[in-house]
Every structure is written in structure tokens, then in C-alpha cells.
């Protein structure tokens, strides 16, 4: 139950709002750092497979390198599955969580 207070008209009203959260359906496609793929190769993979622009791909690659991982895409499992498989096929370490 959400409570709204309307002080300008001097009333207090309770309103039932049915909020259906679908956030639990949204997953993250995470790419992890490795010791064998070059920056240029990973950037190229993000551009081709994830449809990132060059700047976004470079930023994600830097995050993977310096932080150990990066969320490169969000969506439902069904939306991310083929992208994850394509990244794995290219030799990247990726997982949907």
C-alpha cells in the first residue's frame, strides 16, 4: 500500500498500487578477465557480438581488465543466450547471471 499526502488540498489518501516487478527476469551478461586475449581482440568481439560502439567496447574492455569483469549486456536469458554462446565461441569467459 502506498500513501500519498496532498497538503495543498488538505487530504490524505491511501491508494493501492499493483506493481508487478519483472526485474527478476532481467539477467546480466558478464565477461571476465583472462590472460590470453588481447585488448584489440576483446574490443572487436564486443563490437561484433554485443553490437557495442567502439567507445563502449573500449570502456568495457578496460573494466574487464582492471576490475576483473564487466556487465556487457542486460536482458532476459533468452535475449542473452546467443550472445553469450558467441562470446564463448570466440574464447572469452562469459556467463549469464
Q: Residues near 81 by Cβ (< 8 Å), separated by ≥ 6?
A: 96
Q: Which residues pair with 2 in a beta bridge?
A: 15
Q: Could you tell me if 17 and 2 are in contact, meaning their C-beta atoms sit under 8 angstroms apart?
A: yes
pLDDT score at 3 = 47
pLDDT score at 1 = 44
Q: Report residue 36: phi and psi, to 5°.
A: -125, -15
pLDDT score at 22 = 56
Q: Whole-prediction pTM value?
A: 0.75
Give the CB-side neighbour count of residue 81, counting CA atoms within 13 A: 4
Where do the domains of the chain lie, and which CATH numbers do they carry? Answer: 25-96 (3.30.1390.10)
- Digits of tens for pLDDT over the chain (97 positions)? 444 455 555 555 555 554 444 556 999 999 999 999 999 999 999 999 999 999 999 999 999 999 999 999 999 999 999 999 999 999 999 999 9
Amino acid at each position: 500500500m502506498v500513501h500519498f499526502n496532498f497538503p495543498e488540498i488538505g487530504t490524505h489518501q491511501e491508494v493501492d498500487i499493483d506493481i508487478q516487478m519483472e526485474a527478476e527476469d532481467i539477467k546480466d551478461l558478464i565477461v571476465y578477465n583472462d590472460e590470453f586475449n588481447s585488448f584489440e581482440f576483446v574490443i572487436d568481439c564486443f563490437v561484433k557480438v554485443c553490437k557495442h560502439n567502439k567507445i563502449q567496447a573500449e570502456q568495457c574492455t578496460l573494466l574487464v581488465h582492471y576490475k576483473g569483469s564487466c556487465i556487457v549486456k542486460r536482458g532476459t536469458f533468452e535475449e542473452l543466450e546467443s550472445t553469450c554462446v558467441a562470446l564463448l565461441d570466440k574464447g572469452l569467459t562469459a556467463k549469464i547471471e
